[in-house]
Structure 1
Amino acid sequence: MVDISSRYEIPRTAEFLRGRAYTRVALQFPDELLKDAAAVARALRAELGGGAKLFVMADTAYNSCCVDEVGASNIDAQCVVHYGHSCMSPTSNLPAFFVFGKAPLDISSCCRSLLDCSRESSKPVLVLCGLEYAHALDDLKRATVGLCKSDCQNSEIHYAEVLCSEMSPSSSSTAEEQCSQSNGSTHNDGLPAHNDDLATLVNSCCNVEGSTRKYNLGGLTWRISTDEKMDDYLLYWIGQDNSAFANVALTFNKCDIVRYDTAANQFSRDVSHLMKILRRRYYLVEKAKDANIVGILVGTLGVAGYLDIVEQMKNLIKAAGKKSYTLVMGRPNSAKLANFPECEVFVYVSCAQTALLDSKEFLAPVITPFEAVLAFSRGREWTGEYLLDFKDLISSEKPEVVSKSEEARFSFIKGGYVEDDCAQENEEHSETSLALAELTEKALSTRNQNSDAVLYQGGAKSAIEYLKARSYRGMTGEYEGPAPDSVLIGRTGRAAGYSDEKTKSPQ
């Protein structure tokens, strides 16, 4: 039987809530932990002794790793207790308390694997982990030190620490600043918690403090000397091959990386699948340069600064001579995005650990804000560095427009290198909207040759004209002429009795 009190840290959670006199608290669970939600709520209510109302939240509108401030605001919650895996993105309006859980870890096996990697590598080792394994880091440190002494081995092994377990709301501060605002609490079950070029953007998760450089990524923090670089370290990840690991591996893609699989109790050096993702992202950046109409997908309503980056993306796209539409639709999928065939590329504004949306099955590619900066900004070239957290891109600086007259580039649409004349660009500037509509219509007609396809017909200059010009308009059922063969007309009426059902006489 699962020890609810220990696994979900009931006493520590109750202490936090009592200390701040919260009376309306939202308990947020991911799908895989919902089975324990009722038991956790009962145990926490018993520990609090009454006086506080607890509400269980599930099926979040966006991503379960982010604090669901929208759902919590519907019940006027004063605080959110977040259970399970978290991206540790800073909140905007509500304080949050995090319970990461205690996933099992074979300390002796992990210790031997760590020392083997240290012996084989000439580099110092930096140990990172999923937050659900942070509870075991102290035991791992002690076991490693003891084994090193018995083997007379002098291994240079460094450990990351948990940044914090609670946050205070802020519209602009980073997760580290929010942690420092939380009444000085910097612990998690005994663990201490603590733009000139592209490289500057990528290293913005790093702060130089005296003779050390401090990094914060995915809820973890660590320090290295200013005389060293991250490339000088071997990264040893403890945990699953999930979004948190992808965030670390792509951000520090020039480092040697080893992942210890906690289920199989063995380590793996193979991160080739993530490097393939990186190469595909480069392809999407090049493809996005040819887009004329860009959709901005809002993938979060709670992460601090999301409105700032949305506005920055609008300005960036406008400065590049393109049109943009902002779309809020919850979790995006291919069916939802297919309702906007005018958009040739989408920019997904989301937290760092859900930003990489696989768009292979989509009609148009989906890129991150960082990739949008590369595609639409002037003089940006990809050096291999990568950034997933949009908060590190937020800037008050005016974006520089890509100058088509200064450089030739390869166009995926035209199939060769193109170089536009500056004078011609200025001459056609007044007709931008009409030109974009014509290009979009041409691209869509080329992409879809099926006469039954659900697409708009004719030219348009604005969003409402796009909608009116379509032959079929989705859920409203409004269309001109017969519905296409590919469209199945559903049942009408109420669930208690659809219009095509025979009325049953009461017995």
Structure 2
Amino acid sequence: MVDEFESKYEVSQVATFIQTHNFKRVALQFPDELLKDSTEVVRALRKELQSSCEDVKDIGLYVMADTTYGSCCVDEVGASHINADCVIHYGHTCLSPTSNLPAFFVFGKAPINASNCAKHLCDYASSTTKPIMVLFGLEYGHALQDVIKVSNVETTHMSGDTSKIQLHFAEVMGQSMIPTNSSETNCSSCTADGDCGDDAVKRTYRIGGLVWNLEEGQSMEDYSLFWIGPDNSAFVNAVLTFNGCDIVRYDATENQLLTDTSQQRRILKRRYYLVEKAKDAAIVGILVGTLGVAGYLNMINHIKEMITRAGKKAYMLVMGKPNPSKLANFPECNVFIYISCAQTALLDSKDFLAPVITPFEAILAFNRGSEWTGKYVMEFQDLVASTPVGTEITLKEARFSFIQGGYIEDPDLQDADEEDEDATLALANMTEKALQKRDDDIKTVAKGTAKSGAEFFASRSFQGLDINSNSNAPEPFIIGRTGKASGYNHETSKD
């Protein structure tokens, strides 16, 4: 049992990573569902370090929970509170490149019936004329070689012509990540559609910590996708990014193949609707959803400049994990742009007062003349990987027809854009006049004209829940003890 536990959490590999780089302050990041095992992991890791390291007392292990943003990303903000040298990330991860701290990822080992999975894979491969690209959740990477081995056996024993069956498997980028001075980490210059360098013979694709190559002249539309794993954010990321491919999903929990991905594909229609709605926005809120993923500052600068060029006002908001209650404090914002990793970027904003869109959708909405070809980019690093700050990003867009059920060319696209531009400029002018209107309420903090975003938000009658900042508020009635738990105000020192 102990060996199985240590194998699941890869205790020896983690200890080797710590010792190899001589890290002294190590942050162990656990998601909520694995937090119950954190004490046992620390105990096993401490024991492993003692058996191979003499100065183990100098190594500090700190458990982190309740991440600042999504638990799939390395929480560099939380790790900085203890001046950590590195982060050991446990559980599901998007494997987004970090900005400053080295990281080691323990994906876990989810149970899977490799024989059953390989059988479904071969049956599906024999029913299609396209080659198959096998993608998977990182927690199933430990069983990939078993699936490959059984698939080769199944293909050999299948009756009929099996020479046309072509199976290709993605690989995990790696478990460790050492950020460099460059914003490119773990070959982040390889986009979902692009090459890895001008001299590359093969095209390199990556998504969610997976990487694979295609021969020159081939594209992902030439393949069918076979996904191994649950219906989670990683799967939705793959469906949207490669929405031009036929995709099936093998559920390792139920041991069955699911071919209906219409629910995930409907998300694309919903996102397109939000893009159209965002075009009429006059005030835009930029939600910072990460402070650790490499390149987020460049993306913020691109978005701010793009909004300014569109004649709109932008305000940057940092609030941790957004929810409807938090964003309701900013009713002036007509739309929010959420800058985060690919697997947390899609917020279901049906309960929000204003839509929440991704950087890719913002570029489609605010860059005049941009066109949507049906491709969808989730990684914001891919949008600015080769674009200097200040350069306008242009994308081609094909209008989606809900009647025809697909993307169509719109001959009136240019005229529609001109009408939208006139309407947007009119809204922007009205907003400018509203911001400059004199505030008649003498009790507001920013009496007079609003010259900045801070003054504008401060001019509202609602000033938040900090009762100490309002001199007219009644004195608070304190029940219980006051002070810190280490020494309350009524307690006297025992010294």
Common topology (TM > 0.5): yes
- CA separation of 1:378/1:133 partners in 2, compared to 1, >3 Å: closer, same or farther? same
Question: CA shift at 1:211, angstroms?
Answer: 3.0
State the distance in 2 between where 1:434 and 1:410 align: 18
Secondary structure at the aligned position of 1:32 is classed as: helix
Using the TM superposition, give the Cα deviation of residue 142 of structure 1 relative to its aligned residue in structure 2, in angstroms: 0.6
Q: CA deviation at 1:257?
A: 0.1
CA contact (8 A) 1:471 1:479 kept: no
Using the TM superposition, give the Cα deviation of residue 409 of structure 1 relative to its aligned residue in structure 2, in angstroms: 2.7
Quick one: distance in 1 between partners of 2:423 and 2:119? Answer: 63
SS at match of 1:89: coil
- Amino acid in structure 2 at the alignment position of 1:493: I
Alignment partner, residue 362 of structure 1: 352
Measured at CA, do residues 457 and 151 of structure 1 come closer, stay the same or move farther in structure 2, by a change above 3 Å? Answer: farther
Aligned-pair CA distance for 1:390:
0.5
Percentage of pairs with the same residue: 51
Which residue of 96, 100, 106 maps to 1:89?
96
Alignment partner, residue 116 of structure 1: 123
Q: Which residue of 1 aligns with 2:65?
A: 58
Give the one of 169, 173, 178 matched to 2:179.
169
- Report the alpha carbon displacement of residue 212 of structure 1 after superposing the two structures with TM: 1.5
| CA distances 1:106-150 after superposition (whole Å, capped 9, x unpaired) | 011101100110011111011000000000000111111112112
Q: CA deviation at 1:73?
A: 1.1
Alpha-carbon distance between aligned partners in 2 of 1:241 and 1:410, rounded to the nearest angstrom: 37
Q: Any idea what the Cα deviations from partners look like across 1:281-339, whole Å, max 9, x if unmatched?
A: 11111111111110000000111111111111111111111110001000000000011
State the Cα deviation string for residues 460-481 of structure 1 (Å, max 9, x = none).
Answer: 5542343343222121348999
SS at match of 1:4: helix
Match of 1:420?
422
Aligned residue for 2:400? none
Q: Quick check: 1:493 aligned with 2:485?
A: no
**Superposition map of 1:105-504 within 5 A:** 105-151=112-158, 153-154=162-163, 155-170=165-180, 172-177=182-187, 203-204=193-194, 210-394=200-384, 395-396=387-388, 398-400=390-392, 407-409=414-416, 418=420, 420=422, 435-438=430-433, 460=450, 462-477=452-467, 492-493=477-478, 495-496=480-481
Distance change in 2, residues 1:491/1:133 (3 Å):
farther
SS at match of 1:56: strand
Q: How does 1:14-29 map to 2 (within 5 A)?
A: 14-29=15-30
Aligned counterparts of 1:419 and 1:139: Cα–Cα separation in 2: 56
Q: In the aligned structure 2, how far is the partner of 1:322 from the partner of 1:312?
A: 14
Deviations 1:152-187 (A, max 9, x none): 5332100000111100123543342489xxxxxxxx
SS of the counterpart of 2:307? Answer: helix
Code of the aligned partner of 1:159: F
Change (3 A) 1:167 1:480: closer
TM-score scaled by structure 2? 0.83
Alpha carbons of structure 1 residues 114 and 458: separation in structure 2 relative to 1, 3 Å: farther
Unaligned runs of 5+ in 1: 180-199, 412-416, 443-455, 484-488, 499-507
Pick closer, same or farther for the CA change 1:472–1:481 going to 2, 3 Å. farther
Give 1:119's aligned amino acid: S
Aligned-residue Cα RMSD (Å) equals 3.2
Whole-angstrom CA distance in 1 between matches of 2:421 and 2:305: 24
C-alpha change, 1:58 and 1:8, in structure 2 (3 Å) is same
1:497 CA displacement: 7.6
1:183 aligned residue? none
2:109 is aligned with 1:102 = yes
Q: Which amino acid aligns with 2:201?
A: S
Q: CA deviation at 1:12?
A: 1.2
Amino acid at match of 2:390: K
- What amino acid is aligned across from residue 111 of structure 1 in structure 2? A
- 8 Å CA contact 2:140–2:228 kept in 1: the answer is yes
CA distance in 2, matches of 1:497, 1:439: 44
Opposite residue 179 of structure 2, the aligned amino acid is P
Deviations 1:11-60 (A, max 9, x none): 11111111111111111111111011000000000000123211111110
Secondary structure (helix, strand or coil) at the match of 2:465 reads helix
Report the secondary structure of 2:349's partner residue.
coil
Judge conservation of contact 2:284–2:334 (CA < 8 Å) in 1.
yes
CA–CA separation in structure 2 for the residues paired with 1:279 and 1:221: 27
Q: Which residue of 2 aligns with 1:76?
A: 83
| 2:74 aligned partner | 67
Q: Which amino acid aligns with 1:116?
A: D
The gaps in structure 2 that reach 5 residues or longer are 51-55, 395-412, 438-445, 484-495
Counterparts of 1:408 and 1:490, CA distance in 2: 60
User: Alpha-carbon deviation of 1:205?
Assistant: 7.6
Amino acid at match of 2:350: K
Question: 1:310 is matched by which residue type in structure 2?
Answer: I
How many residues are matched? Answer: 445
Q: Please tell me the residue identity of whatever aligns with 2:324.
A: S
Q: When the two structures are superposed, what TM-score results if normalisation uses the length of structure 1?
A: 0.81
Residues 388 and 418 of structure 1: is their aligned pair in 2 closer, same or farther, counting only changes over 3 Å?
closer
| Distance in 2 separating the partners of 1:495 and 1:466 | 38
3-state DSSP of counterpart to 2:186: helix
Q: CA deviation at 1:482?
A: 11
Contact 2:280–2:420 (CA<8 Å) still a contact in 1? no
In 2 relative to 1, CA 407–150 (structure 1 residues): closer, same or farther, beyond 3 Å? closer
Tell me how far apart the structure 2 counterparts of residues 437 and 88 of structure 1 sit (CA, whole Å): 42
Contact 1:91/1:170 (8 A) holds in 2: no
SS at 1:474's partner residue? coil
1:142 is aligned with what amino acid?
K
Is the Cα–Cα contact under 8 Å of residues 63 and 354 in structure 1 kept in the other structure?
A: yes
Residue identity in the other structure for 2:7 = S
Of 349-358 and 143-152, more deviation after overlay is shown by 143-152
In the alignment, residue 175 of structure 2 is paired with which amino acid? S
- Paired amino acid for 1:475: L
8 Å contact from structure 1 (residues 459, 469) kept in 2: no
1:437 and 1:461 in contact (8 A); partners too: no
- After superposition, the Cα gap between the structure-2 partners of 1:259 and 1:175, relative to the gap in structure 1 and judged at 3 Å, is farther
Residue identity in the other structure for 1:467: F
Name which of structure 1's ranges 259-268 and 152-161 shifts more when overlaid on structure 2.
Answer: 152-161
**2:335–2:356 contact (8 Å) kept in structure 1:** yes
Aligned to 2:440: none
Residues 480 and 58 of structure 1: is their aligned pair in 2 closer, same or farther, counting only changes over 3 Å? Answer: closer
* Alpha carbons 2:196, 2:203 under 8 Å: kept: yes
Where 2:257 maps in the other structure, the secondary structure is strand
> Given residue 436 of structure 1, which amino acid in structure 2 is its aligned partner?
T
Report the CA distance between 1:408 and its aligned residue. Answer: 3.4
Q: Report if the CA contact (8 A) 2:29-2:75 is conserved.
A: yes
